[in-house]
Structure 1
Amino acid sequence: MNKLLNKVKQIKWHIWLRDLGILGAIFVAISVWQSRDMLDIDSHLLLKDQLLVSMDGQTNTILKADKPTLIYFFAPWCKICSLSIGNLEYLDTNKLNIVRIALDYTNVEEVQDFADKHNISSQILLGHKGIKQQFKIQGYPTYYILDQQQKVLAKSYGYSTALGLKLRQVFSG
């Protein structure tokens, strides 16, 4: 009887692992499909002289030369952005610069309301159609990790958990 119970448990364990593998494969396939029109991994951008204005009126460059940069593109009306922007707080800023860029906003007050609602004290840059086109932004949120030479190390579109962002940080840096 014990052998039969062990065999049943083993079969259930194998079924559970199979189902988990299928779910993982589906998740990867969806992620690849969603990011098909984004910039290619290992492609290079020309951003050195690109300046964007922050919400406080300061002019800033997108990339810093000291470490890789995660660029998070969002729209203040985006519900998924509302759910995901807080996950950026879990990343190690000693190893990664984080740049938040607002796009498709009506006015600065709309972006400020979004920042206040989500307790974002970090700087937010105000993007424009040119930067949206340069990064091939099709929807929100869109993430890119770029190295110091402006090479795309990682990309993602849609909701990312704090764990997913940390894994991208580990594997890209």
Structure 2
Amino acid sequence: MSKIENKKSNWRVWLRDTVIVAVIISAVSLWQSRNMLSSDGSIHIPQQNLVSLTGKVEPMLAENKPNLLYFFAPWCKICSLSIGNLTYLNPDSVNVVVIALDYSSREEVEAFVIEHELNTRVFLGHEALKQQFKIQGYPSYYLVNEDQKISSSVYGYSTAIGLKLREAFGH
């Protein structure tokens, strides 16, 4: 086999393997998010007020721009790995809403925020909110468009690139 044929063969193997990995990742992602709220734009999220970690009652959603809702639990190891990826999002393009669920105390959430050096508002969620968004695991993400309709949902680790693509394309 010549060097050119060998390079073509290597390229085909690499391409085949990349496609297989992409299909597996897509299948796992679809399976994990199968019980989340529909992201076809049919579900409207009403504005609601939540208590922030600072104790203020504030609206959850920003108006006139998309909102990325990031639900986490302070004990979640995947959340610890993924929450830093939120800093890659442009705050002028998308409002990042960080919501703690399944925590045992406010201090536990505060410790998580300090450990990860979060410089964003963090809301203290509650069981009714968890049920409303059908949160079954962490982290869970919902992208809510300007019309306050869900345009994307993801469960599990999301890379900075994945978040930037959702920011850019709205899903």
Provide the TM-score with structure 2 as the length reference: 0.96
1:149 equivalent in structure 2? 147
1:87 is aligned, of 75, 85, 88, to: 85
Q: Return 5+ residue gaps in structure 2 as ranges.
A: none
Q: Deviations over 1:37-92 (max 9, x none)?
A: 000011323422x1110011101111111200000000000000000001000001
Classify 1:8/1:46 alpha carbon distance in 2 versus 1 (closer, same or farther; 3 Å): closer
| Residue aligned with 1:71, SS | strand
Aligned length: 170
2:109 equivalent in structure 1? 111
Q: Aligned partners of 1:123 and 1:12: how far apart in 2?
A: 48
Q: Aligned partners of 2:6 and 2:119: how far apart in 1?
A: 54
| Residue aligned with 2:2, SS | helix
Q: Aligned partners of 1:145 and 1:66: how far apart in 2?
A: 14
Alignment of 1:31-50 (within 5 A): 31-41=29-39, 42-48=41-47, 50=48
Q: Aligned partners of 2:120 and 2:69: how far apart in 1?
A: 13
| Residue aligned with 1:52, SS | strand
Q: Aligned partners of 1:4 and 1:83: how far apart in 2?
A: 45
Alignment of 1:15-94 (within 5 A): 15-41=13-39, 42-48=41-47, 50-94=48-92
**Between Structure 1 and Structure 2, whose CA radius of gyration is higher?**
1
Amino acid at match of 2:5: K
Q: Return 5+ residue gaps in structure 1 as ranges.
A: none
Classify 1:47/1:116 alpha carbon distance in 2 versus 1 (closer, same or farther; 3 Å): same
Contact kept, 8 Å, 1:47 with 1:62, in 2: the verdict is no
Q: RMSD of aligned C-alpha atoms?
A: 1.1
Q: Aligned partners of 1:166 and 1:154: how far apart in 2?
A: 13
